[in-house]
Amino acid sequence: MEDSNSNSKKKIVVFASGNGTNAVNIYHYFRNNKNIEVSHIFSNNKKSKVLRRAHDLGIKCVHFEKEDLYDSPSLINVIKDIDPSIIAFAGFLLKVPESFLAAFPKQIINIHPSLLPKYGGEGMYGERVFRKILKNRDKESGITIHYVNEEYDEGEIIAQIKLELNNDEDLNSLEEKIHSLEYEHYPKVIEKLLT
């Protein structure tokens, strides 16, 4: 694990566990920005697509074990060395312990694929959220960007963006709509927080 304090840009560290399309989207959004950059992508999942994507793009990536988050100060120290302005969760599925939150107050944010508090909480991520929305035949849905606290999906809300749902919405169409909304808004919300 290495540090990247070689320039004066504000740094975003992205945490992701799975696919990583949001992580890569955030990276691309800031790629030519003079003041802000995605400096690292961290993942707890060694086999995740996000680590492969980050590696292919030449983004510094760090794999850590779940225990590093819960049981030792080493992960906190590595991130403190990087000195990010924001830690952005993008499909990161682990609960965050108090020690980690206390080390980065008001700096950790998350994106969730529903209008919280609807369809939040433990086990509610990705496709599971979409299936519930479809089952309930909701007329609208959207995304939530919020600060992270010690409970799943319960931190202070920063932004919510809504969209209307059609009667014939299916898993694919809903997923596509939500992802488009995420790609459009998450980087902008991060930028706003940093400027």
- Contacts of residue 140, defined as CB under 8 A and 6 or more positions apart, other chains included, come to 115, 162, 163, 164, 165
Look up 112 and say whether it is catalytic: yes
Applying CB under 6 A, the site for ligand GAR has a residue count of 16
Helix (H) or strand (E) holding 144: strand 140-147
Among the listed residues 11, 12, 13, 22, the single contact to ligand GAR using CB under 6 A: 22
Q: How far apart are CA 190 and CA 195, in angstroms?
A: 9
**Residue 113 within binding range of ligand GAR, rule CB under 6 A:** yes
Q: How far apart are CA 38 and CA 24, in angstroms?
A: 9
Among the listed residues 87, 88, 91, 109, the single contact to ligand GAR using CB under 6 A: 91
Which of the stretches 4-12, 68-76, 78-86, 109-117 binds ligand GAR when contact is defined by CB under 6 A? 109-117
Nearest alpha carbon to residue 105 among 64, 144, 150, 63 = 150
Which of the stretches 17-25, 26-34, 39-47, 62-70 binds ligand GAR when contact is defined by CB under 6 A? 17-25
- Letters for 118-147 (x = contact with ligand GAR by CB under 6 A, - = none) are -------xx--x------------------
Catalytic (active-site) positions: 112
